[in-house]
Amino acid sequence: MNHLWLTLSETVLIELEQSADEGRDVRAFADEAHLIHEMFGQGKLMEDEARRLLDKIREAPIASDFSFIEPNCLEGIKKARPGNRKTDNSGKPRGGELYDKIYGAWLARCAGCLLGQPVEGWRRGRITGLLKETDNYPVKKYISSNVGEALRAKYRIADEGNVYGSNKINWINNVLHMPEDDDTNYTILYLKTLETYGRNFTSDDVSASWLMNVPLLHVCTAERVAYHNFTNQITPPLSGSYYNAYREWIGAQIRADFFGYINPSDPETAAEYAWRDARISHVKNGIYGEMFVAAMLARAAIDSGIKDIIDAGLGEIPEKSRLTEGVKKVLAWYDEGINWEQAVERINQLWDESNGHHWCHTISNAMICTAGLLWGDGDLEKTIGITICAGFDTDCNAATTGSIIGMMKGAKGLSEQWIKPLGNKIKSGIDGFGLTEISELAERTVNLIQ
């Protein structure tokens, strides 16, 4: 079955889980949803039946005991923020220090993405097994496919594969620069968007920027649904929810970084910019994930305390949201004194990596990012290493946590071992970029700040 259009038939089971997450009692629809999905698996589409079922699921009432408060509008989100959030954001970096931090964020985002990209989609046991058998656990270097025939067979390692137009899997021995990835495409896209529309950009501007600059097949899940919605004249914010079962998946969270970059020391504005973007393809915790990361990055420009950075992220999203609950669980585990492997195990007990909805959800992956940041203790290698060992969306999470550490440390504070292989170059699918120097992207970012 061709997954190009993300048919309604293939989303019914995801919608069932998503609506249950949102507090709806959808048990009565389970049998029909499984039947439609089973027929999809056999190559038979039941689109009319799927549409009717999706409408019924989305109309199911929310249970009276559902305790979370999760608005989509910016005013509602601001009202739902914690009352004790910090608002002192003085000390904005300037001049050479500002450039160093922005450059560091770009570089470390690329480094985390490159570490996690070749094992994206692998389950945790497979990842840690390979790392342990190649003397790379805990992680201390990029992952190579030159591991001998026995390990290649055991871990089903291949070099050939289609990754955003490349015919190679991006193991470190196969790259000369940062290869293309959606996690870095969006960061570059929003540089171009802000250069085009300025700081007063709207959600409609963002959707237009997607259509002008991003090939359809370079976006996934919630983004692809939103893209189709744009082309059918379904505009933001409806584009984020209209038959979009992926509306709380990780896609918006990975788009946050640039909004943090251009608002150093200002988490509130960074989060607002992220909201303008996230609402075109996501709702509720899907939106909050992007706001959370953008705010952390803005705070990381002036703060080296990991807990303070995480608190700044939580300060910009609803206090009684499922995302806040998940992040606070990880913070409590850290205070309890367990080690990072125990924290990763607990996350995997709460979220099933074999379930696609869990694997790609905003909250599961935000919890992994939180664990990587806490137990990584400000060290890039430890942070991105812990993050990929947790499994789930490896390249997304390592890119996010790497970006935050890079903003904290600056380019001068990053180890050559992780930065030199990038060659200061990045390949992009964004129109007009191609192969670009990472330092140029940092310079253009600083120009927008100033």
Binding residues for Mg(2+): 393, 395
> What DSSP element (H or E) covers 162?
strand 160-163
The tokens for 422 are: 């990038």
DSSP state string for 26-94: -GGGHHHHHHHHHHHHTT---HHHHHHHHHHHHHSPBPTT-------SHHHHHHTS-TT----------
Assess contact for 403 and 297: CB atoms under 8 A.
Answer: yes
Assess contact for 399 and 112: CB atoms under 8 A.
Answer: yes
Q: Which 3 state secondary structure label does DSSP give 160?
A: strand
The CA distance from 91 to 244, in Å, is: 41
The CA distance from 406 to 185, in Å, is: 18
Assess contact for 145 and 174: CB atoms under 8 A.
Answer: yes
The tokens for 274 are: 């992220």
> What DSSP element (H or E) covers 325?
helix 322-336
Residue 55: CB partners within 8 Å, gap ≥ 6? none
User: Cβ of 238: how many Cβ atoms within 10 Å?
Assistant: 13
Binding residues: 393, 395
The CA distance from 429 to 184, in Å, is: 9
